[in-house]
Structure 1
């Protein structure tokens, strides 16, 4: 490996630029819901920091797993490859795709081996964390009672006619108006299944429940201001024209302890485990030689 390809070392083991870029891409999609190439400079730096932290922690945990004598079960790597290969015509296509991305077959197998050991030891460490008690849940609820409220939500269905806002805009609007006129003769669900350009058309246009901030502004405003069961005015968004029908509404309000308890337990459990793992990794790092190089973003 060329020195310029190395972004960090952990006890002498190199972390490559490819590994960093892949990790950044994962954070870009998971945190920012967009590819790495579309991140702002600030977002990219934050994603880079999170990615580097994750890669260093991964290597530290891997080395700890080896020191403890943990082993990957026979056939586990092959089973993982089989799962991924199921998304390709055959396993050779998988390896070919990885090669194009700069990851050799051997490097891919090593990566899977590392991940399996890291996950194995992480599960062992998480099993050491105490369960959340009723006292902790009650205390959290009382301390955060003013925040314990359900946001306003609506459930809606729509029929989408795509438009890019260009020359085809008027034709798209006319087509939407004609579909809306047919609602007296045909059901909303049938028209959505036949004519909607949205994947929700397969479900009769049902978008499920959503809250404020989940949809583009014009669609959200129309949905929250509509009456349940009525088909309102045609709504235009960057995706095209929508025939919208709100099918249910939930005004939100205070959440009882019984309602909140499962989510509080889940939140506290996740928080406690996250803090436990962070403390463990910090301890591993305190006795390790970690070097992170100042590598410019591509």
Structure 2
């Protein structure tokens, strides 16, 4: 993709772009290690400062400048508007399998699962280590999932493939596109398939709590007024280009195009911009400020379907073909009302879910063999803060 910000040191900022209503910015997804994995308390980490990396020979000659991040919405909890939609990934599939089964029976616990130079590693040893590595967190996650499943059944709530797809698409929008979401997932060692596995729980919670959410016109107006600047879009064009080193090469390509040659085919064959040539020279949509000024001036003068002559920039000579155009637009509150309502509902559900899950856990009868024993031991232990003299008097034999 052709972009402007290639400096003299041949370094490139790795900035992303955000969509409208992306109040929470492009934030990293993180695996939550809380013992109570309430989706409402899961926030996306702040994106770290862009890394500056050396340009390899195989990267595009030009590159888009990252767009500014829109201001955050008014609510203090808005950064987690979509954080609640991402449940923590459990430690490992094998850990789940182990924990959902009761501890090994006596005659089975000594069965070997591995052997090292004749020394057996037993099933019981494996179980103990898996529990030690994160069993309490994983079991609590399973308990929470079971509680939500039970409440969803009571409310006759079901989750379809379409529901999961809709949630994923909504997340793509919130993160500023599929590439931005995938990047955030990669930074948390997750894949889109991992995310899809978490979605049914989030859909259930949303469907259970949404009826309790009331969004007023005043709420919508406040949100719109606070984020109005993010709804203003600049003029954009979509263009393809062929980049060569000399004007002679550019003129020769222009002659081939005039004689009926295919633009995309010539871009794949002759363009030196490795970031776009394989896509037939397509650069996708860009704003004026995204590109080299000479390149932008030429591109924005063209009508859709028109091809430029040889355009000189700091990178060489370009032949530019404009394939689409978007006018600048300032969205009104009415135009964005549905999107704002959706964002506010997500925010409210996020706020409600923590308390709801806590109340649900409190009023439910739950047996947790991994934590109950610890709680019993703790309650039986002497109070270390008690008066030592009183303790001695208590323990002294009767006379």
TM-score (norm 1): 0.44
Give the structure with the higher percent helix: 1
TM-score (norm 2): 0.35
Largest Rg, 1 or 2: 2
